[in-house]
Amino acid sequence: DQQVKQNSPSLSVQEGRISILNCDYTNSMFDYFLWYKKYPAEGPTFLISISSIKDKNEDGRFTVFLNKSAKHLSLHIVPSQPGDSAVYFCAASISNTGNQFYFGTGTSLTVIP
């Protein structure tokens, strides 16, 4: 059963606008969350993370928001650029026990120039 879900397989956004990618999880024990970006024929690249003690983490144009009560996280990209076009995966893990990272199915973002 999928413990991390990305319900939007694809998203198109105009260049310069905000991209919002969403992710839901079911396991309340998850306490570390990550976003990865993947270009074709390459491995996923780590983008940004957040631990459950925070509700927001920023890195340049990328911000991740965590809503623990809703078991929901989102990635905001502002402003969106054509080079951001890629597949984005969210992932979750339990930092103190076990060693597994659980991934969503990915959202394909297209930024239109």
Partner 1 sequence: DAGITQSPRHKVTETGTPVTLRCHQTENHRYMYWYRQDPGHGLRLIHYSYGVKDTDKGEVSDGYSVSRSKTEDFLLTLESATSSQTSVYFCAISRRTDDSPLHFGNGTRLTVT
Q: Which residues bind partner 1 (CB under 8 A)?
A: 4, 6, 32, 34, 36, 41-46, 49, 51, 89, 91, 95-96, 99-106
**Residue 17 C-beta: closest distance to partner 1, Å:** 26
**Residue 15 C-beta: closest distance to partner 1, Å:** 27
User: For tokens 């990328």, what's the residue?
Assistant: 62
Q: Cβ closer to partner 1: 17 or 56? A: 56
**Residue 72 C-beta: closest distance to partner 1, Å:** 17
**And the tokens for 16?**
């310069």
**Residue 75 C-beta: closest distance to partner 1, Å:** 14
**And the tokens for 95?**
């930092």
Q: How many beta carbons lie within 10 A of that of residue 16, not counting itself?
A: 11
Q: Cβ closer to partner 1: 49 or 110? A: 49
Say how far apart CA 8 and CA 88 lie, in whole Å. 11
- The CA-atom distances, in angstroms, between 22 and each of 11, 35, 67, 90, 95 are 11, 10, 11, 8, 22
Q: Cβ closer to partner 1: 65 or 102? A: 102
